[in-house]
Chains A and B, each alone.
Chain A
Amino acid sequence: MAGAKEIRTKIKSIKNTQKITRAMEMVAASKMRKAQERMYAARPYAEKIRTVISHLAHAHTEYRPPALMDRPDVKRVGYIVISTDRGLCGGLNTNLFKATVQSMREWQAKGVESELCTVGTKAAGFFRRLGVKVAATVSHLGDTPRIEDLVGSVKVMFDRFREGEIDRIYLVHNVFLNTMTQKPSVELLVPVSARVEKVDAPHRWDYLYEPDATVLLDTLLVRYVESLVYQGLVENVACEMAARMIAMKSASDNAGSLIDELQLVYNKARQAAITQELSEIVAGAAAV
């Protein structure tokens, strides 16, 4: 019964793996619910600031911040890539990086170089190997990211944009469609004008500023970029949890079907051994 014993150990080890994946599935499911709530909670701010920015784009302001104006010739582009810190979440990160690399390639074909700001250890690792210039990086933000953690990296990119080092900033993250599907998205962050459609205002108007237009508009735009990146990050956490839940569920299912198959093989092996023993006994008795 040597074969049968081996199979038994194998079944046991698969069962152990299944226990782990099932536990991870349940943990991810409960974390996903919380992450989703956070995602919805962060939406009003993003919506409001978007409204303010679109008002601003329609106003005839005395000072036009550089982030509002489209730059005709693009020499360098920046990406803020939001990935997860941990793996075991299916193809989430891989699909995201694929989308990033594709967009980078398109720019490269036009002779435009790219540089990156990575969020999360997975992006940092991947783009280091790729050999792209990484201007800033932040990781280990946990499941409840705070906006403070992002401020530094966003500032690096935004400053480079203001100095004219890069002409466009894209935000790359996963969009939470539903629990089963997450889609990578590459969206243009600044210049803003490319995002808001122009409407002919009925009359010219400008804001009153307290204290001063330059300072205020710059602050507003920094807040705008930060809030979009934060929103992306929170959404990406929800995606991570959902993807992990699905990945772990299918791992548990696969382990289950593997166990069933092995159980069948084991039963056959056991039966064969019994039959053999019996026929040996019968043959022995016949010989006597």
Chain B
Amino acid sequence: MAMTLHVDIVSAEKQIFSGTAEMLVATAEEGELGILPRHSQMLARLKPGQVRVKLQFGEEQVFYVSGGLLEVQPHTVTVLADTAERAADLDEAKAIEAKRRAEEILAARSDEISLARAQAELAEAVAQLQAIEKLRKLRKA
């Protein structure tokens, strides 16, 4: 039997492909990469483009990924595809947005309630839950 690779293509939201192949061709940032079995360990960043999987017996499957990472081990290849649009400045903008929301919430706080009071509130809620639980058991009994 010919030497084969185990290929997994996954995105955060689902599994795209999993199976045995003879060769994988992916579009890395610095050009196309062809991976054959017994390739040495490698990490590469993919840019939006095709990932072609040459299956056994001459079949070929083509997938499109919008970027991601590629990990190569001698007999396995893993493509971690991104689903989201990614760019450094886009991420930055999102980070700033998240911070701003946090500050807004903090600013909206009219008076600082002490830790003790909040914990008391929490304890109360827990006690209520326990009471409900007990009540339910009593009903059943």
Which residues does A use to contact B, with CB under 8 Å? 38, 41-42, 44-45, 48-49, 51-52, 55, 59, 90-91, 94, 97-98, 101, 117-118, 124, 126, 128-131, 134-139, 146-148, 151-153, 155-156, 159, 205-211, 215-217, 219-220, 223, 226-227, 230, 250, 257
Contacts and interface: CB of A to CB of B under 8 A. Distances in A.
Given A45-B14, A136-B101, A151-B91, 9 more contacts: A44-B8, A45-B10, A55-B71, A118-B102, A130-B118, A148-B94, A210-B28, A210-B33, A210-B44
A128 B11 contact: no
A48 B41 contact: no
Given A94-B126, A129-B118, A156-B99, A209 B44 contact: yes
Interface in B4-51: 8, 10-15, 18, 28-30, 33, 40-45
A128 B106 contact: yes
13 contacts: A52-B71, A101-B119, A129-B118, A129-B121, A137-B98, A147-B12, A148-B84, A148-B94, A151-B95, A155-B98, A205-B41, A208-B42, A250-B136
B85 interface: yes
Contacts of A250: 136
B61 to A, nearest CB: 17
Interface residues of B, number: 55
What are the 3 closest A-B residue pairs judged by CB atoms, nearest first? A152-B94, A136-B98, A210-B44
A59 B69 contact: no
B98 A152 contact: yes
Contacts of A118: 102
Interface of B: 8, 10-15, 18, 28-30, 33, 40-45, 69, 71, 73, 78, 80, 82-85, 91-99, 101-102, 105-106, 108-109, 112-115, 118-119, 121-122, 125-126, 129, 136, 139
A52 B105 contact: no
